[in-house]
Chains A and B, each alone.
Chain A
């Protein structure tokens, strides 16, 4: 049922990476509950622009939960209170009339704030560049089903591949660890025969890049798994541990 709600928005404002930020409170009036969270921020920004103020900077792109661009730490949860959904899939019907909604950027040394709610997530690209791919000499297109893969393995690989690299795992982790992301990116290839060739090198390269970029050590709190918009399982982390330890032992 659609209705209108009014609430306070407590948003982190920070002019630049080096500048000190602080919260600013904005009053939002009569917002339809069918508005998505990002549309609501669009409404806020329109009001701010009309009033001659600087709009709030936030990341967004596809607005259908597949690109991994949107972020936001809303009321103590990455991507807000909904489970298995990104911020762009979050609707205002999740919130109550008169509530104060706190919106913060991802907070992690690996993801420094660029401005307001936008953080620099290039660290993930660097981890991918370290080995999150398969080197292939492209020739003719191989026949479909030339390499048999069991349904179970294919499903697990697809589950791992559903990671959109949004960074919610790092934002949720009290250790700022990127293990869920790295483990999903290692698993999606490690489970398949095509990924076997470079498996050991990949696990070592991606993990050492993760460590080098200043992400923390996993302590198995499972906060990442609980907050992941794609419900990536920590069984991937166990697989990464296995792959990495096996690679190091065979060195």
Chain B
């Protein structure tokens, strides 16, 4: 499991300047990828994720330092030898015309076939294995242009797999997929890494999925700092705040996600739990409430009544008469009306610091 597939030493990435100094995007990177591992590369837009990926796959020369793939220097590997060790899935949409999904996957055998491109029985075997590995045997007959985005992406992964590489690099493999398809794709990639003992490196903007499924994360922060480690270590170490700080949104370490609702405006005590309790908490947070424990002082007390099928909510404002609402929409409206100051942008307030 811990066999090193790719290793970067003192790597500097960027572009050579036309005159004068080169444009360095990140310098002095030390990176390692192990067999059987899924590593997600995350970072704000324009920070140089693509440049890093291009450098690691040998499409762009490094400014300094070295990349070792399977013990060989990337720069000295001949192209077809490199292609036997490394394959890619790109974001660009392919237009191949009249080609079955199977034939497309078989194109991945390119670095293994002779000069005529003839497929040996073993080549066809590998192509079939790759289609089976991504659960896409039923797509084999279909024309590539008839496939949906999710199916096409599966086929492109199978094609990369058919190259039988040690390392697969995927540039935003979940970019054009809907949420269920994204989860499926990540699950598939994880399974492929485990079962075929290959290293997978992928760039993504899908923070939540990456946190939940990657073995390790590389966070590329503005200024060329790269944090790497297990997702949980990075959360605890504050690497997410450092990486995405410039975006002006706060990272919630408890949730492992970025905070999208406004800073809390008032303290609300929520009494009740279970599924209804969880979604009630969500609705209240979205409406700008800071949830506190039942015994703490609070401007509002919300008690969940009724059962899971027909929930009701009892709302009491500072000892006033209880009001009853039958939906979270009504509850949110009531809460907003109660403090009424959310519409004006509030200064960033720390937890527990509220204006009323």
Tell whether A and B belong to one assembly.
no
**Chain A residues near B (Cβ < 8 Å):** none
